């Protein structure tokens, strides 16, 4: 009898090992696809490579809530798509995501590449409703955020003893030194007035911790159920579409255009982001885009 028990245990162990090997192979395939989308090859986890990953992500996998609206309309999805769906959406339709997908999936990629990275929750009007990445590298800590629709082209120094500022068009972002509890505060000023921001809680969180916040983001009155925001940032050229406003940034100037209706919005999205017009029209059908993404 004991021999049968041992054999069964061995079979179970073997099956578990095979499952782990298959899962590992699938993860490698997905992360290879991820890097291909970013136009990068695997490298050692250095600060320079981290900068390149962040910049590539902001340019090639944009912040956008259009796919969020589309998935909800099509199948009632009120959760983040799995990594394979996220990557196929980026590859086939030029989708990106919000902080609930962009930052967690980039964090997984960073870990796969050997970086010491973790997710942190951020307080806005409510606690832990935004997600950022904290990276520990060469004795320093950095905040990475490709999910705030912001031009954070470089990792931000979380351990800086003075304010870290980014100026971009009418926007100025100020990351303040950590307080006594280790929390970082980032403030967004638009036209000189405080408009938005968040406080980073330095506590490691699993992606699933944010499930209630993600579900709540689909409320009928929630910000990204009533506003449209797409951003693509690079050092040479950046584009922001916020409801019926299109803003383009070059090194020395910015231009702003008013879009008259959803048809013009759809055409602008297809032109600047490559998302097929039919999908844009489906996602925006019946919406008046009256919300403010920065309120």
Per the domain annotation, does 198 fall within a domain?
yes
Per the domain annotation, does 218 fall within a domain?
yes
Q: What is the mean pLDDT of residues 173-183?
A: 97
The C-alpha atoms of residue 42 and residue 201 are separated, in whole angstroms, by 30
Q: What single DSSP character describes residue 276?
A: -
Confidence grade of residue 127 (pLDDT, cut at 50, 70, 90):
very high
For 72, residues 6+ apart whose C-beta sits below 8 A from its C-beta are 78, 218
Torsion of CA 231, 234, 239, 240, to 10 degrees: 30
Per the domain annotation, does 190 fall within a domain?
yes
The two tokens of residue 251 are 């090194």
* CA dihedral sign, ordered 139, 98, 63, 219: negative
Residue 20 confidence (pLDDT): 47
Residue 212 confidence (pLDDT): 97
Contact criterion met (CB below 8 Å) for 163 and 174: yes
Confidence grade of residue 26 (pLDDT, cut at 50, 70, 90):
confident
Per the domain annotation, does 242 fall within a domain?
no
User: What residues form DSSP beta bridges with 239?
Assistant: 232, 248
CA distances from 87 to 29, 81, 105, 108, 280 (A): 11, 9, 10, 13, 18
The C-alpha atoms of residue 149 and residue 168 are separated, in whole angstroms, by 12
Per the domain annotation, does 150 fall within a domain?
yes
19 pLDDT above the threshold of 60: no
Per the domain annotation, does 271 fall within a domain?
no
Beta strands in the chain (DSSP E): 63-64, 116-123, 130-137, 140-144, 156-157, 164-168, 171-176, 184-190, 193-205, 229-232, 237-242, 245-250, 254-258
**C-alpha 24 chain-centroid distance:** 24
Confidence grade of residue 112 (pLDDT, cut at 50, 70, 90):
very high
- At 272-294, the pLDDT tens digits run 999 999 999 999 999 999 999 98
The C-alpha atoms of residue 202 and residue 111 are separated, in whole angstroms, by 18
Per the domain annotation, does 250 fall within a domain?
no
Per the domain annotation, does 47 fall within a domain?
yes
Its domain, for residue 213, covers 30-224
Domains held by the chain: number: 1
Residue 1 confidence (pLDDT): 58
CATH number of the domain at 69, please.
3.30.2140.20
């Amino acid at each position: 009898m004991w021999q049968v028990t041992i054999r069964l245990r061995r079979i179970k162990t073997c099956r578990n090992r095979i499952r782990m090997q298959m899962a590992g192979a699938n993860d490698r395939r997905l992360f290879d696809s991820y890097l291909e989308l970013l136009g990068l090859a695997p490298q050692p986890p250095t600060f320079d490579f981290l900068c390149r990953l962040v910049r590539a992500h902001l340019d090639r996998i944009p912040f956008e809530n259009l796919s969020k609206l589309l998935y909800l309309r099509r199948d009632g999805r009120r959760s983040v798509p799995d990594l394979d769906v996220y990557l196929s959406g980026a590859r086939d339709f030029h989708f990106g995501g919000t902080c609930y997908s962009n930052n967690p999936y980039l964090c997984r990629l960073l870990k796969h590449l050997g970086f010491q990275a973790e997710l942190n929750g951020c307080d806005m009007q409510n606690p832990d409703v935004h997600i950022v990445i904290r990276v520990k590298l060469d004795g320093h800590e950095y905040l990475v955020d490709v999910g705030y629709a912001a031009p954070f082209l470089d990792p931000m120094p979380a351990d800086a003893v003075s304010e870290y500022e980014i100026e971009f068009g009418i926007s100025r972002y100020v990351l303040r030194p950590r307080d006594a509890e280790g929390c970082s505060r980032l403030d967004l000023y638009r036209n000189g007035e405080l408009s938005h921001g968040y406080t980073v809680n330095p506590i490691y969180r699993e992606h699933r911790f944010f499930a209630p916040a993600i579900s709540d983001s689909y409320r009928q009155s929630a910000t990204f159920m009533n506003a449209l925001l797409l951003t693509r940032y690079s050092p040479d050229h950046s584009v922001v579409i916020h409801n019926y406003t299109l803003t383009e940034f070059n090194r020395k100037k910015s231009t702003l255009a008013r879009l008259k209706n959803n048809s013009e919005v759809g055409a602008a999205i297809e032109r600047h982001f490559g998302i097929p017009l039919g999908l844009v029209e489906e996602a925006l059908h019946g919406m008046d885009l009256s919300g403010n993404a920065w309120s």
